[in-house]
Structure 1
Amino acid sequence: MIGRMIWLTAAWFTWMGVLLFGSAGTLAWLAAWLWLLEWAACGIWIGVWLQRVDPGLLAERMSPFAQRGQSRWDRVFMMVVTVGWCAWLCLIGFDAVRFSWSHVPLWLRVLGAIGVFLDIYFTRGVFAANRYASPVVAIQRERGHTLSDSGPYAHIRHPMYSYAILLLAGTPLMLGSWWGLACVPLMVAGIGWRAVKEERTLAEGLPGYREYLQRVRYRFVPGIW
């Protein structure tokens, strides 16, 4: 399974590199190389850890974005997200390098790199608390899907989405694109919409989830939403 994970990671990050360097028009973009290296290295670290503690979750995380039992709206959402993500990386490449529209100070770039790392580090805690953290919205009956309410789930309903905001904001900062950062509120709104839809799906099919919604009030940020 580790071999498959490394192959998938290499393929995905090669494709993202094509988008970034192709839109930038050059391979001489140190920030992009560092971003790809940081995210790939941390991703493999998480994968090796999952293989040791929960190989079933690792297999689920490597599953396709379209699966049997997945809600139709979620399939459409994942297709839109995939296209949007690719377009976003191209916009960042055009902005930060090819046309140099943006000039992000070094300290903010470093802060962005820290944000990317923290997203991946905190997501490890999500996986430790929720062995059903699938990339798609579906009740995993074949895996004995049960409610996860410990760890970060004791405080917010969607910690993985909450931590993803660090990645979404950190990426354009690290790569030096104000235009990329300007897209982040729309992207956060998108995952917020998915969170609401996901809650409805889980409330209908996952025992105890309706009570969980009453017990844990906030989705992303305690005291805010």
Structure 2
Amino acid sequence: MNSEFYYQLTAILLLVSGLSISIYYRHKAQLAGKQAGDQISARAEEKTVFLILRSVFGLALWLGSMLYLINPSWMAWSQISLPPAVRWAGAIIGLTGVPLMYWVFSSLGRNVTRTTAVRKEHSLVTFGPYRYVRHPLYSVGMLNFLGFSLLSANWFIFACAVIGFAAIMARTPLEEQRLIERFGDEYRFYIERTGRYLPKL
């Protein structure tokens, strides 16, 4: 058994853990929205350019990741040479993000959405990680994929993650504007005391 097998096995653990948490809480929020008659259309609520960028690079990111998990040799064309210490550091970074992701989703509860839209029954979450950061889900997601990129030693996966995160950063002001429209001064005060992606110093 070569060392790549152990990297692959760790990557499977990382991705399956994070994906399971995400699917569980998103499905739970979607069911709650259906029961409340609160449906959200991604096409109607998100600007086309952000939707296209998120879809294209998100698909490329997940496709590249899945191909690596199934057979690393399929992504050998974009693999770079990294020392084992760096790759295992990536594993630690990524796996650290898993409990953080659980913390974020469990704090969000039914407020999880796929777009910049705000549900009718949306409540402003200011506890858990949201006490310090307004968008910890984006921060943790990037942390996970940074770890995954180092673990897989793959520049294509890293590039897709960076471009996808850049698209998210570009749409965040729109998301915050919708939250200001929904919560008014409460959200403005919240902005003053928290950081967008990292805790405020």
The two structures have a TM-score, normalised by structure 1, of 0.65
SS at match of 2:118: coil
- Between the aligned residues of both structures, percent identity stands at 24
Please, which of 32, 45, 49 is the counterpart of residue 71 of structure 1? Answer: 45
Residue 113 of structure 2 corresponds to 134
Residue 170 of structure 1 corresponds to 147
Alignment partner of 1:57 is 2:29: yes
Residue 213 of structure 1 corresponds to 191
Greater shift in the superposed pair: 175-184 or 153-162: 175-184
SS at match of 1:149: coil
Unmatched segments (≥5 aa) in structure 2: 34-38
Distance 1:209 1:179 in 2: 37
Residue 21 of structure 1 corresponds to none
Higher helix share: 2
AA of the residue aligned to 2:114: P
Contact 2:21/2:102 (8 A) holds in 1: no
Q: 1:210 to 1:45 in 2, by over 3 A?
A: closer
The two structures have a TM-score, normalised by structure 2, of 0.72
Trace 1:10-159 onto structure 2 (pairs within 5 A): 30=5, 31-32=7-8, 34-44=10-20, 56-57=28-29, 59=31, 67-68=40-41, 71-73=45-47, 76-88=49-61, 90=64, 97-99=75-77, 102-131=80-109, 132-141=111-120, 144-159=121-136
Unmatched segments (≥5 aa) in structure 1: 1-28
C-alpha deviation, 1:90, in angstroms = 4.1
Q: Root-mean-square deviation (CA), in Å? A: 3.5
Trace 1:194-213 onto structure 2 (pairs within 5 A): 194-207=171-184, 208-213=186-191
Q: 1:76 to 1:115 in 2, by over 3 A?
A: same
C-alpha deviation, 1:152, in angstroms = 1.0
AA of the residue aligned to 1:112: G
Distance 2:157 2:128 in 1: 32
Contact 1:102/1:179 (8 A) holds in 2: no
Distance 2:83 2:74 in 1: 12
C-alpha deviation, 1:153, in angstroms = 0.8
Aligned residue pairs, count: 184
Distance 1:87 1:47 in 2: 19
For CA contacts below 8 A with separation 6 or more, give which structure has more relative contact order.
2
